[in-house]
Structure 1
């Protein structure tokens, strides 16, 4: 009769094998974890920039369709930007990005507008983590673009 504590014919892991696997997991985590902050901040920036591009396309389309001015307003020192159509204001988060030039030039805001008097070319410069500079460009007849540190992105 077999006892309940018998290990004959049973497969399992020894304490040494379990400790070796745990050590490997800890080593891999220690290699990945220091870069998590950078990866997360870049993801936040990319998400915010994609939302800005979508809003620029939508603002241009709405302004043309309604015949009214629509604006994107980027405010110095604020973690958001605003979409404005008449008296309606919608705030969009701007995680990890700040308006460039707010301290040096005393700029309070940058406005990109669409409507009857839309400029040929409009841009806003945003600063990201680790010194990344983003230039968001809206030009008549072309889709909006983002340039990263002087290059197209």
Structure 2
């Protein structure tokens, strides 16, 4: 199960990086940087301890309403509840969907819906309830 969790985190990070929708100049030239410079996830690569990662998590939550990128960062965090295997907060699929929607990035919302629908299809009760609540609020 732990291996599956790590794989999920890696796949989600790739989805998130792609969903940020703002490729930097390095990415345009074939570099590895896909996140906008304002994303707090860019700090994760320099974090060397659990405390530093938890501080990044707290900063993401604090900035969740500051910008579209902040909403995208927070959506990803609420979807997984962790960064680099370090638990930061309780998973909240509904909040993840709302933040993805509010970010204004259609790809972020689509990626979040796909991820959470997959969890719901697998029987995850939290995901099922979040989708029902989201559909009631936004359909």
TM-score range, shorter chain: under 0.3
Structure (1/2) with the larger strand percentage: 1
TM-score by length of 1: 0.25
**Which is greater in Rg?**
1
